[in-house]
Chain A
Amino acid sequence: MMVGDIMDRDLTSVAEETPLLEALALLAAHDTSGLPVLNSGGRVVGFLSEKDILRAAIPGYIGYMDENFSMPDIGKIKSRVNRVGMDPAKDYMNKSAVVFDEGETVSNALVTLFKRNVRRAPVVRGGSLVGMIDREKILRGFIQENFGDGEVDIPAGGK
């Protein structure tokens, strides 16, 4: 099974020049945590997530969170997001984001997503966006392949 067989064929994306506030509004409108970033030729050049936007607003704090440091209050976050809100997506996107070719095998993609600790990633054909793949979609693909489209009949087993 190839990534192109099971990917989500939605092409929602942002431009390199899209201001962060606009990108944030787009994430909310599309109910997603991140979107691919395209250059003017329509090629995927990065990935922008909520976390990247938060990192832009409160640089340094994301790292502290792993060590149980507290976050600044929500008012401060809001004002800092507004401060960087007009900066372009390209300044804060992940330029080395995981990107799959549509011909990549699903099992390789799943391993990469787990290894890189990434939930979803863009899928390209010749560098142009053709869809998105995420871990849930892959697992659903496995279920569908093994159990068909009907209700999943989980085999009884174990002790």
Chain B
Amino acid sequence: MIVTITPNPAMDEGYTTREFRPGRWFHASDVNRSPGGRGINVSIILKQLGYDSVAMGFLAGHTGSYIRDDLLARGISTNFVNIKGENRTNTFIRDESSGIETALTDVGPKVYQDAQKRFFWNLERVLPRATAVQMGGSLPPGVPQDFFKEAIDMAKRKNIPIYIDSFGPPLDFAIEALPTVVKIDHRFMNTIRNISLSALDHLVDISKKIFDEGVDWIVTSYFNRSNLFCTTKGFFLAEIKTDRLFTFRSANDALIAGMIVAREERMGIEDTVRFAMSCVRRTIECPEKGLPSREAVESSIGSVALYKI
């Protein structure tokens, strides 16, 4: 069983409209709602790839009930801690004419210590059955910055591979605990350890540093459609090509889900990169949350360009 951790779940609301600009009223030509947050998105994509997972984190209010019910209806196991307040609603407005997307995110409910204690109790109970643990995203108010680190320490004691996709201080703390895979999300951070994330050379430098500390895989985005993979077999730059781009919303989550599946199926390093990037391609093409099918992913593996650098 794969465990996904979303400390700050959300309901994602996507609106499509024509020629969107601030200051005017618009009628949406399409509205799409789904449970969201990094771990939850990974759970949804894993299910689409044929893998069961249990989604964990904190749920609150009507939005929390919606998230739980929707996940259960998709056949995804849940083990959330219910708290007071209301989960986030993240709003995405996609301008149909230009394809440009505008996002507005919320903060999330305050998570008190007793709920955090309860979460770690739940995690301890599911870890003996876990084959992988994925965590990521933002932390809600009240949750300490070393939250991911504590979860990673628990999973590491049981020798379970750990995937993290986050940013800022929570990611810095998480790296200290040496997870298996680190995805650096530089949409929300410009530097890491005082190294700018703007140029390929810098991405190579920081990846090498983290790799030398003991992390097996470091993945960083490079422009919109490429990712740099730092692995035990060196660096790979992987690029996807598509003329059917819809949204980049869950691209990172598809990448992580693809890497988890590849590891579960014991794929080699290059096959892992190709499979994960193909998951990204199918996800950014898909108007619904996630990707259409495993078959679709497999059919586009050949279109992933891979360069050893």
Contact surface of A with B, Cβ cutoff 8 Å? 8-13, 15, 26, 29-30, 38, 41-42, 128, 130-131
20 inter-chain pairs at a CB distance below 8 angstroms, sorted by A residue, are: A8-B72, A9-B54, A9-B72, A9-B76, A10-B68, A10-B72, A10-B78, A11-B54, A11-B122, A11-B125, A11-B126, A13-B125, A15-B125, A29-B83, A41-B128, A42-B126, A42-B129, A128-B129, A130-B77, A131-B77
The chain A residue sitting closest to B76, CB to CB, is A9
Nearest Cβ on chain A to B281's Cβ, whole angstroms: 30
A146 and B79 CA atoms in complex are apart in Å by 30
The chain A residue sitting closest to B129, CB to CB, is A128
Nearest Cβ on chain A to B120's Cβ, whole angstroms: 12
One of B78, B126, B128 near A9 (C-beta < 8 A): B78
Classify the interface of chain A: helix, strand, loop or mixed.
mixed
Cβ of B144 < 8 Å from any Cβ of A? no
Nearest Cβ on chain B to A5's Cβ, whole angstroms: 9
Q: For residue B121, which residues in chain A have a CB less than 8 angstroms away from its CB?
A: 15
One of B75, B77, B128, B129 near A10 (C-beta < 8 A): B77
A26 and B119 CA atoms in complex are apart in Å by 12
Cβ of B82 < 8 Å from any Cβ of A? yes
List 20 other contacts, CB 8 Å, given A9-B75, A10-B78, A26-B118: A9-B72, A9-B76, A9-B77, A10-B68, A10-B72, A11-B54, A11-B122, A11-B125, A11-B126, A12-B80, A15-B125, A29-B82, A29-B83, A30-B82, A38-B125, A41-B128, A42-B125, A128-B129, A130-B77, A131-B77
The chain B residue sitting closest to A129, CB to CB, is B125
Q: For residue A12, which residues in chain B have a CB less than 8 angstroms away from its CB?
A: 79-80
A42 and B122 CA atoms in complex are apart in Å by 10
Q: For residue A9, which residues in chain B have a CB less than 8 angstroms away from its CB?
A: 54, 72, 75-78
Nearest Cβ on chain A to B85's Cβ, whole angstroms: 12
Most chain A CB inside 10 Å of its own CB: which residue of B76, B77, B122: B77
The chain A residue sitting closest to B83, CB to CB, is A29
Interface string of B64-107 (1 = CB under 8 A from A): 00001000100111111011000000000000000000000000
A12 and B82 CA atoms in complex are apart in Å by 10
Question: Are A11 and B77 neighbours in the complex by a CB distance under 8 Å?
Answer: yes
One of A11, A13, A29, A128 near B78 (C-beta < 8 A): A11
Q: For residue A41, which residues in chain B have a CB less than 8 angstroms away from its CB?
A: 128
Question: Are A11 and B79 neighbours in the complex by a CB distance under 8 Å?
Answer: yes
**A-B CB proximity, top 7 nearest:** A9-B77, A11-B79, A29-B82, A42-B125, A10-B78, A30-B82, A42-B128
A42 and B127 CA atoms in complex are apart in Å by 9
Nearest Cβ on chain A to B64's Cβ, whole angstroms: 10
A13 and B78 CA atoms in complex are apart in Å by 11
A38 and B129 CA atoms in complex are apart in Å by 14
A38 and B121 CA atoms in complex are apart in Å by 11
Q: For residue B68, which residues in chain A have a CB less than 8 angstroms away from its CB?
A: 10
Nearest Cβ on chain B to A30's Cβ, whole angstroms: 5
> Which B residues, 107 to 130, have Cβ-Cβ distances below 8 Å to chain A?
118, 121-122, 125-126, 128-129
Q: For residue A11, which residues in chain B have a CB less than 8 angstroms away from its CB?
A: 54, 77-79, 122, 125-126
A128 and B125 CA atoms in complex are apart in Å by 10
Nearest Cβ on chain B to A91's Cβ, whole angstroms: 19
> Which B residues, 128 to 175, have Cβ-Cβ distances below 8 Å to chain A?
128-129
A15 and B54 CA atoms in complex are apart in Å by 19
Most chain B CB inside 10 Å of its own CB: which residue of A11, A41, A131: A11
Q: For residue A26, which residues in chain B have a CB less than 8 angstroms away from its CB?
A: 118
Q: For residue A42, which residues in chain B have a CB less than 8 angstroms away from its CB?
A: 125-126, 128-129
A128 and B129 CA atoms in complex are apart in Å by 9
Q: For residue B77, which residues in chain A have a CB less than 8 angstroms away from its CB?
A: 9-11, 130-131
The chain A residue sitting closest to B78, CB to CB, is A10
Q: For residue B118, which residues in chain A have a CB less than 8 angstroms away from its CB?
A: 26
Q: For residue B125, which residues in chain A have a CB less than 8 angstroms away from its CB?
A: 11, 13, 15, 38, 42
Nearest Cβ on chain B to A144's Cβ, whole angstroms: 11
Q: For residue B126, which residues in chain A have a CB less than 8 angstroms away from its CB?
A: 11, 42
Nearest Cβ on chain A to B125's Cβ, whole angstroms: 5
The chain B residue sitting closest to A30, CB to CB, is B82
The chain A residue sitting closest to B117, CB to CB, is A22
Nearest Cβ on chain B to A114's Cβ, whole angstroms: 24
Nearest Cβ on chain A to B261's Cβ, whole angstroms: 20
Q: For residue A131, which residues in chain B have a CB less than 8 angstroms away from its CB?
A: 77
